[in-house]
Amino acid sequence: MSSVERKAIYPGTFDPVTNGHLDIIARAVRLFDEVCVAVTTNLAKQPLFSVDERVEMVNEATKNFKGVVVEPFQGLLMDYARERGATAVVRGLRAITDFEYEFQMALMNRKLADEIDTVFLMPNEKFTYLNSTIVKEVAKLQGDVSAFVSPSVLARLRRKFEVS
C-alpha cells in the first residue's frame, strides 16, 4: 500500500449540515484517508447560520468520524485543494437535476487543476430529496426535521426559529 495519504475536499455551505451531507462524508471517508469538509459562503445565498456556526455544527455532527477535518474556506476551490494537498474534490449527486451544474463545475475545475479529480457520490436513496433549504423552510414553520439532521443541528434550528 502506498504511503501517500489520499486527501479529498468536500466543499459546501452546509447551512445547516443535513443527514444527506453526513451520508456523503461517511462514504468519502471510506475512500480517502482524510476528508476536509470545507465550509464556505455562497454569495448567491443568504445563510441562516454564520460560517463559524456551520463549522461548529459539522464538527459536532462528525465528531465520531475518523479522518474528517472541518475548516472554513474562501476563494477558489482548486487553489484551496492544492494548498491542502488534496487529490480529489467530493460532490454529492442527489438527482439528475444536480448533474448538469456539477458536471460543468467539474469540467471547469479540471481546466483549473487537472491533477485534482472530482468524485461524485450518491447518498442513500432516503436522502435524495433532502437539501438544507427544505430543512430550513420546514423548521421555520415549526415542522419536525429530526429525521433530516443530527440532534445538535436540530437544537440549533429550534433556537433560531423559537416562537416568542
Q: Where are the domains of the chain?
A: 7-128
pLDDT in tens, 32-60: 999 999 999 877 778 999 999 999 999 99
- Which residues are CB-neighbours of 153 under 8 A, at least 6 positions away? 16, 17, 18, 57, 60, 61
Alpha carbon distance 156, 145 (integer Å): 12
pLDDT of residue 129: 87
Task: Say how far apart CA 41 and CA 72 lie, in whole Å.
Answer: 9
Give the residue numbers annotated as catalytic, written as ranges: 21, 45, 94, 132
Q: What angle do CA 160, 14, 68 make, to 5 degrees?
A: 120
Q: What is the mean pLDDT of the chain?
A: 93
CATH architecture of 7-128: 3-Layer(aba) Sandwich (3.40)
